[in-house]
Structure 1
């Protein structure tokens, strides 16, 4: 008889929650942030199609999800920090009106996304807007991890060209989207 994933989740939370929370806290150094991180990892682990028949297998998966979610959060915060710093460096009269800019930006992104193939669009949206991992995206779309990486890279490359953003420098991860002009661009 196989165990249901719900039973495994119940047992995992009942018996291993404290240990998993301690692991999350070693990453975040903050109790509340650790609770949030653990919640995200549990949801990511058990919402998908993965079916666990043992608590140790599920716990190992949650531990990996903790690490990957933590790193993803650091990257996201770093990108946000860079964007805020660039915006703060602009003279007040060049800062775009948020209401006007957000609508125009959304329209531009929607139009650019519409030019992608359905698989490229799905991979880009799931990876970058829904913040799913490569594996989670592949599971949802029934694609291999390699195919997800390829469709995502092709889609991001096409979007970069359409939206006029700079591709990442060699050796840098991610795409650097220029939402506001640099100081040099606003002078010239």
Structure 2
């Protein structure tokens, strides 16, 4: 890889790492798995970086690599991990409400399928449009809408989520359909 191309890739990684890690954590439910997922995605992107740079949207290309790597990771899992609220050792009392909220969100996301989880994370936690999510997942907007509807229905049935508002940047316009 040329020196300037490698510098471009390094700049890309530095600017995207925090957001990718946050989203990967929401997708995997574990910080260490999230780091592994982002690193695996970036390793694949590094090999193809010269080609990726020439695309219209390198950011979407790398995000799609990460999402596909997560789906592949879940397919390969022979023994699934189950999140639990019980630890083998006693813990200090937790007085921070944000930790409890984060735990509730991660537990709720863990109950969804990989595709539903990806759609919810991208739509509501990353505040992306249906079109962007469809492009990142390589599916149609209708598929994104159906995954969103099923995921939200499942979360509501389990009383884990209040009625979500549309993402702030993507409020419904007159005559437009909404999931």
TM-score normalised to structure 1 length: 0.37
| Structure in which a larger fraction of residues adopt helix | 1
Q: Which structure is larger by alpha-carbon Rg, 1 or 2?
A: 1
TM-score normalised to structure 2 length: 0.38
